[in-house]
Amino acid sequence: MSNSNSGARQTPHQDERSATARLGDRVASIRLRTLGMVAGLAVLVLGLIVALAFLRPDERAAVPAAAPPTAPPVADASGQPQPGPTPASPPVAQAQAQSKFGLNAQKLLDEMRTHNPNILDADALKLVQVGDTNLARNQANLTADDPQIRDQVRAAFPNATDEQLATMTRCTAEYVEREWARLHNTTPPDSDDHGG
């Protein structure tokens, strides 16, 4: 006996349900293992993003530390600029860099320390400011007890004794005279305002 359908072409079975119902069946047929793999991949990507955020180099660490500024050039006997010594400490280098007239903060500190050992590197900025103020006066010859310098030193060092004020005034006056002479290519008027 033969089947009447044996030679006939069969048409594919068409699901006559709505698209939403068919989509629901497909979602339901996804295996649990596939869902686990997708969730694991999402966690891995999220972890990688977080790790990269924390491993990013610090911008401050990427910038190399700046070298302390060197002393401004000073003129030799023939008027040619010569580099001064590099200050040993950051406060001295910063004070020197802020000088309007290129004062050598280390030399000014050393001048003070020859007579007043209590001057600290941290005081360099105060000394440079007093020196700059008096260079701006544009006077070649200052007295060892110059009242303007004395008042500025007293304001900068309110705890200084009268003896320290007198010494610091003399030292500042002498240093300012030498710097004025250097800037104007002349000889300082006094070789020593210290009185000996």
Segment 25-51 shows an average pLDDT of 79
In the predicted structure, residue 65 carries a pLDDT above the cut 50: no
Residue 54: the pLDDT is 76
Q: Where is pLDDT greater, at 87 or 91?
A: 91
In angstroms, the CA 29 to CA 14 distance is 18
Encoded amino acid at 127, one letter: L
- Mean pLDDT score across all residues of the chain: 76
Residue 72: per-residue pLDDT: 45
Q: What angle do CA 72, 140, 73 make, to 5 degrees?
A: 10
More confident residue, 189 or 191: 189
Instruction: Work out the average pLDDT over 19-33.
Output: 74
- Average pLDDT on 168-184 reads 88
Closest CA to 126 of 144, 108, 138: 108
The number of angstroms, rounded, from the C-alpha of 76 to the middle of its chain's C-alpha atoms is: 32
**Does 61 or 152 have the greater pLDDT score?**
152
Confidence band, pLDDT 50/70/90 cuts, at residue 40: confident
Task: For residues 49-55, give the mean pLDDT.
Answer: 79
CA distance 64 to 67: 9
The residue count of the chain comes to: 196
Taking the C-alpha atoms of residue 151 and residue 107, their distance in angstroms, rounded to an integer, is 22
The yes-or-no verdict on residue 126 having pLDDT over 60 is yes
Q: Say if strands 74-75 and 81-82 run parallel, antiparallel, or are unpaired.
A: antiparallel
Residues of the chain with pLDDT > 70, as a percent, come to 68
- Please say if the pLDDT value at position 69 is more than 50: no
Three-class secondary structure of residue 146 per DSSP: coil
